Chain A
Amino acid sequence: MGEWSFLGDFLEKVHKHSTVVGKVWLTVLFIFRMLVLGTAAESSWGDEQSDFMCDTQQPGCENVCYDKAFPISHVRFWVLQIIFVSTPSLVYMGHAMHTVRMEEKRKMKEAELEAQEKKNGGDTYYQQKCSMAEKEAKLSGWDEAGGQIILRGSLLNTYVYSILIRTAMEVAFIVGQYVLYGIFLETLYICQRAPCPHPVNCYVSRPTEKNVFIVFMLAVAVLSLFLSLAELYHLGWKKAKERCSRSYKASPSTAPGRLESAPQADRAQMYTPPPDFNQCLSSPNGKFISPFSNKMASQQNTANFVTERVHSQEDAAGEGPFIKSSYVESPEVASECAAPAFPENYFNEKRRFSKASRASSKARSDDLSV
């Protein structure tokens, strides 16, 4: 088993970042394939050529008959099978490590920007953070709290592809084994090949014991195949659920996804300019009245309260579990300071910016609590 430590060490890391079914698959691989192969099967096939007897005195006949009967030994075939079946997981592992590194770099950049913002002041910070943090956090799928990689976006795709390739390899090797040897080993092998002078009876060493191991390894391969298919089903269902929830969120008005990619210019156009000071002075005698009249304030409060309630309900439903945004939505106020009419689905739009966003110190939808 020490010889398998090279692969074992790599797969340990994969174990950490797999789904539950993936972990079961890895355990099956370690215990029922690597360990069995290393300890039991190797010794069973140890004397496969030395005890391969042919009923002939012709020198070289045994060699060539053994070579014809076993173009590649079962043990070596299973070694190659294990390696090729594990390789897609390593590719996923590479991508996961790359994601981790990108996430670390992003955090460093954020820290730098924050330091810069403190120097400069102003709200360039928000705009830059908006564009970078949203995009990258959405794609990276990294949960700081858990220290684990969350399967979403491109990482989920890599994982699914790795399982698909793994399944294909598994099937290929099972079929290959069947094509090469059939299922069971026969005790007697009749060989006709130069320099054997005529068809010669050759006898395989330990056929029953070998058959037991062949059936065992075949069963474990089929079990691994089922586990891979189960994982695919589980991930496919999860992805479909994600897609459904995304399409549900994409209500008739502005969708959050689209909003993320909207450039600065578009965003600037979305919120109406703040009302002029004169427009807010509704008093006919021209006396100064505070621009934020009681009526406006109470309307704003009501809107905020409703939004918060909706947001907490959605959180309870488990939507977007790993990117938690704590924000408060302020409704757009028309330039005439009239009470805006909120459409019914308005409160589902989480990322519309209020015109007061520049001066407001409230948490914005783009703030990510990581």
Chain B
Amino acid sequence: MDWGTLQAVLGGVNKHSTSIGKIWLTVLFIFRIMILVVAAERVWGDEQQDFVCNTLQPGCRNVCYDHFFPISHIRLWALQLIFVSTPALLVAMHVAYTRHEKKRRFRNGEKIDIEELKNEKIHIRGPLWWTYTSSIFFRIVFEAIFMYVFYYMYDGYQMPRLVKCEAWPCPNTVDCFVSRPTEKTTFTIFMLAVSGICMMLNLAELCYLVIKICMKESRKTT
């Protein structure tokens, strides 16, 4: 999976983020994407190969694996990371659109401050504030949804060592053994913890933005 593209895109958004947004991005890249690529993919690499069932019935192992792991953790995490990063693209698009508009006005002869145009930093106010805040809101929603999906799909966050399978064509209740359950549990809990931290950071950023705008409004009125 090529995460470099995502890094290139989000790197651009980083310039226009608040400090908390920058911390969130760092946590995302180092503690989630990097861990996923460097460690987790290898832990789950042999999950079907080493999924052993106590049966000689052909096809039983396949069916049991599919029954207990409808979507592998790795794929779910990849989807989670993509969904959680996508709202930031909205901000990037808005910034690009704003800059495009400024350039167009400048080309049409309107008096625009060239220095400001060249200056990369765009402040989060006005319509951009709304875009940015809604992107953070969606981030939080996606994180929460995925955390719930994990919980619902795998009955908690612990990987069982032994699962009992009764799916057809298994002739009776068959014992199946999951590969590396302890290591998988460790990484599941680690990724869950980092998701929680990311969610806290997003909440903090949301509160910070709302409080800032409230203070600005109150200063205007007084």
Contacts and interface: CB of A to CB of B under 8 A. Distances in A.
A90 B177 contact: no
B179 A63 contact: yes
Given A7-B34, A67-B161, A83-B31, A59 B177 contact: yes
A6 B30 contact: yes
A10 B54 contact: no
Interface residues of B, number: 39
Contacts of B22: 94
B179 A49 contact: yes
Given A63-B178, A71-B182, A76 B54 contact: no
A60 B54 contact: yes
Interface string B1-38: 00110010000000000010011001001110111011
Contact of B52 (A10, A62, A94): A62
Contacts of B52: 59-60, 62-63
Nearest to A94: B23
A91 to B, nearest CB: 9
Interface in B40-79: 42-43, 46, 49-50, 52-55
Contacts of A58: 54
Contact of A3 (B38, B54, B55): B38
A5 B11 CA distance: 14
Given A50-B46, A59-B52, A79 B39 contact: yes
A80 interface: yes
Chain B interface helix/strand/loop/mixed: helix
B30 A67 contact: no
A195 interface: yes
B39 A76 contact: yes
Given A3-B38, A4-B38, A6-B7, A59 B182 contact: no
Nearest to A90: B26
Interface in A96-129: 98
A56 to B, nearest CB: 12
Contacts of A7: 30, 34
Contact of A83 (B3, B35, B162, B181): B35
Contact of B181 (A49, A50, A67): A67
Nearest to B3: A6
A297 interface: no
B111 to A, nearest CB: 21
Contact of A75 (B35, B42, B49, B54): B42
Interface of A: 3-7, 10, 42, 49-50, 58-60, 62-64, 66-67, 70-73, 75-76, 79-80, 83, 87, 90, 94, 98, 194-195
Given A83-B30, A87-B30, A94-B23, 10 more contacts: A6-B29, A6-B34, A10-B26, A49-B179, A49-B180, A50-B50, A59-B55, A63-B179, A75-B39, A195-B175
